[in-house]
A and B are shown apart, each in its own frame.
Chain A
Amino acid sequence: MKAALVISTRDNVATALQPLVPGQRIDINGSVVVVAEPIARGHKIALCPIPTGEPVIKYGSAIGSASADIAAGAHVHTHNVASSRGRGDLDAPVGSEARLAEPSDDGSVRGAENGSAGAPTSISSESTS
């Protein structure tokens, strides 16, 4: 079984298909990501640094924005990602955050050649450990 799965080439996170351990090296599309901390099966790992406020991309679309600086190889979850939707507690204009959180084409988001939120038709990550 693969260690982690990347769904879209635009994604900056992968989903762990087995528990990942610190120091483990994972090959993602030819580039290596070193696991920074324990990551449970089903949880996400950052494929590159994601600065605070930048979109976290999975399925080729924003699933929220970084609420803290996220290092490559780090665990990406509720502690460092903020949802932009349904936030009555923030009383922000409905929908505006989601549009802002969409990845731009200015290169701030990794490779934008695949623009659709595609199903995981291609599996592009394999464990090298």
Chain B
Amino acid sequence: MTARQGFHGFRRRDGRIGTRNHLLVVPTVICASVVAERVAAAVPPVGVALPHLAGCGQLGPDMRVTHDTLAAYCAHPNVGAVIVVALGCEQVVAQTLADVATRHHKPVEIVAIQTEGGTVKATAKASRIAEAFAGMLAADEREWCDISELVLSLKCGGSDYTSGLASNPALGRVTDRLVELGGSAVLGEIAEIMGAEHVLASRAHDPATATRLLQVITRVETEARALGLDIRGTQPSPGNIRGGLTTIEEKSLGATHKGGERAPLADVIGYAAPIRRAGLTVMDTPGLDVESVTGMVGGGAQVVVFTTGLGTPTGNPIAPVIKITGNSRTARQMADNIDLDVSGVINDTETLDDAGARLLDEVLDVASGRQTAAERLGHREFAIHRRNPTI
């Protein structure tokens, strides 16, 4: 497909490879989100915040997911330094997040709003720290890294009939090639594997992994059943149905093409959990785009490839999100959101192999620092999955 087998990345002191070098400003709790956003905005474009709606009033499992997701971003190789903005009385413990950053050899400071004496003083103090950290990060240089260091997040959203015919199988070509070369890919959205699980289970590297995949699928179906609901209300979405997709099975069979045709299913893991094995990993994420991308990046993906039929702007605070479409009309109408147009596969002017080769080149260019449309437009959506009510 391509002679290039690597990219220029940031080699971290913990051994991981980053494709970006962000200063991450993490609010422990929703109450600290505005201060965190102001601090990040003081050092553009390196500063990014993780504004979120949680961090307090959560029950055990949700509290753990919130904490683990924030911790995963503090440890992420696309992050070069961390500022934790705390309120002071919340559930999420700022020091615990800071300790994670320290374990990964990243410079980190905590600023607590109650300790500093309010929004103005906390923002001023954290902004001074942010300027110092940004200066340190500016000295970091990229170096050549093997493609096997790459962890690619596979995502689709706003799917239409072109997704299953062009953009998803083109991405599948990239997945197969990346995994052949020792790299990793992660597929989320369990509800969009439903109906296609037999395809992935047959590629599981051992029976236990196949069983875990089927267990996760069964859990999602059981949850829908326990609510007495018909999952068809949201899957496929109304836009999917207008675009010609009839059932969740049809959507899933098209969607799982993102995972390639040969790549072995290496692992099935929980939301935002670390991606442990080379090959294809399935992560237990919901189908909601932002929650899904948030989880897969938390797992360690340094680049996201997001296929779309109808077009969608979603990005991520720390990982570049590449948008690819097989719909020529979307490529024109939403040109500012789209990075790669593979509608030639539908129009019979480009083969899937050629489209996959172009996409792999794009992935390696973006991994080496080229900005994506979502980055240029400032799309930094972030949402932590939650299952239970706030108490």
Interface residues of A (CB under 8 A from B): 1-2, 5, 7, 15-17, 40-44, 56, 58-59, 61-64, 76-78, 81-91, 94-95, 98, 102, 116-121, 123
Contact = CB atoms under 8 A, between A and B. Distances in A.
Given A78-B246, A83-B247, A95-B217, 12 more contacts: A42-B243, A64-B249, A81-B246, A81-B247, A83-B249, A85-B231, A86-B235, A86-B248, A88-B224, A88-B225, A91-B225, A120-B169
A94 B221 contact: yes
Contact of A15 (B198, B229, B244): B244
Contacts of A83: 195, 232, 246-249
Interface string B8-47: 0000000000000000000000000000000000000000
Interface in B244-265: 244, 246-250, 253-254, 256-257, 261
B324 to A, nearest CB: 15
Given A43-B161, A120-B165, A63 B231 contact: no
A76 B241 CA distance: 12
16 contacts: A1-B346, A15-B244, A44-B246, A58-B253, A61-B249, A76-B246, A83-B247, A83-B248, A85-B194, A85-B247, A86-B194, A87-B232, A88-B229, A89-B230, A98-B249, A119-B172
B228 A89 contact: yes
A120 B253 CA distance: 12
Contacts of B195: 61-63, 83-85, 98
Nearest to B249: A63
B253 A42 contact: no
A13 B244 CA distance: 12
A61 B199 contact: yes
Contact of A95 (B169, B218, B248, B250): B218
A45 B323 CA distance: 29
B348 interface: yes
B352 interface: yes
A17 B221 CA distance: 33
B199 to A, nearest CB: 5
A107 to B, nearest CB: 21
Give the 3 A-B CB pairs with smallest separation, nearest first: A86-B231, A42-B161, A42-B244
Contacts of A89: 228-230
A86 B246 contact: no
Interface in B356-371: none
B387 to A, nearest CB: 16
A61 B172 contact: no
Contacts of B249: 61-64, 83-85, 98
A39 to B, nearest CB: 9
A7 B163 CA distance: 13
B383 interface: no
A87 B246 contact: no
Nearest to A90: B230
A64 B225 contact: no
Interface in B199-232: 199, 214, 217-218, 220-222, 224-232
Contacts of A2: 348
Contacts of B222: 94
B311 interface: no
A77 B165 contact: no
Contact of B253 (A76, A78, A81, A117): A117
Nearest to B244: A42
A77 B246 contact: yes
Nearest to A55: B249
Contacts of B160: 42
Nearest to A2: B348
B91 interface: no
A18 to B, nearest CB: 10
A109 B194 CA distance: 22
Contacts of B232: 83, 86-87
B347 interface: yes
Contacts of B247: 63-64, 78, 81-85
Given A85-B231, A87-B230, A64 B250 contact: yes
B351 to A, nearest CB: 9
A5 B244 contact: no
A85 B228 contact: no
Contacts of B198: 61, 102
B253 A87 contact: no
B145 interface: no
A33 B229 CA distance: 38
Contact of B196 (A61, A94, A121, A123): A61
B66 interface: no
A86 B226 CA distance: 10
A1 B352 contact: no
